[in-house]
Amino acid sequence: MIFQKDVPREECGVVGVYSNNAESISKEIFFGLYALQHRGQESAGICTSDGESFYIHKGMGLVAQVFKESTFGKLKGNVGIGHTRYSTTGSSRIENAQPFLIDGKQIDIALAHNGNVINSNELKKEIINSGHHLSSSSDSEIIAHLISYAPALSWQDRIAYCMRKIQGAYSLVLMSKNELIGIRDPLGVRPLCIGKKENEWVIAS
């Protein structure tokens, strides 16, 4: 019989919110992350947008430790994503905290990821050889680069390009400055749910 230490262990929590009329949805993302705290206790982060700029805050520790009341006023916008981390790839340090922001040639995106990319080393070499810089040791940043720099114009083609390359089980919440997208691996191994309330759409693991 194998005995395991009685501590929370999951594989990251992700949440995304899009509102048609709210000026700020950062608190709703916070409460979503708080409900997903059991899925990761190492770091937490939120990224939002008002259609013109990204606003991001992330840090090490539990959700309630990373975010204070004063933080929410700085996270403006009607679209946003959040992440609470349990490391499966990459060490436990601030550089690996999510969401990741990527400045692409054609589009800027933010991404949060739950899962494992089993061919991440191969993809990392490909990205570096293409002249792109990686700031972390997380496979999540690799996915963000693949989508941001994909040789495609539409979201459908960008995502299809990325999904043809990555191998593993994953769920993603992805945003531009005015759009929210959820992505799940073809087999649906990692949980990802979509819901609607009033004038809002919510995606969460």
Tell me which residue has tokens 């090490």: 60
Residue 97 has pLDDT above 90, yes or no: no
Strand partners, 201: 18, 196
Contact by Cβ (8 Å): 112, 119: no
For 124-153, what is each residue's pLDDT tens digit?
998 888 888 888 878 888 999 899 888 898
For 150-178, what is each residue's pLDDT tens digit?
889 899 999 999 999 999 999 999 999 99
For the question of residue 12 being annotated catalytic, the response is: yes
DSSP 139: H
Amino acid 132: pLDDT: 80
Locate the DSSP E strands across 3-67: 13-19, 43-49, 54-60
Residue 7 has pLDDT above 60, yes or no: no
Amino acid 5: pLDDT: 47
Spatial separation of the C-alpha atoms in residues 195 and 164, rounded to whole Å: 27
Tell me which residue has tokens 């061919």: 119
Which tokens is 157 given?
């083609």
* Assigned CATH topology for domain 13-204: Glutamine Phosphoribosylpyrophosphate, subunit 1, domain 1 (3.60.20)
Which tokens is 63 given?
């959700």
Which tokens is 120 given?
């991440």
Residue 194 has pLDDT above 80, yes or no: yes
User: What's the average model confidence in pLDDT over 23-36?
Assistant: 92
Q: Residue 49's pLDDT band (boundaries 50, 70, 90)?
A: very high
Among residues 12, 47, 162, 193, which one is catalytic? 12
Domain boundaries, the chain: 13-204
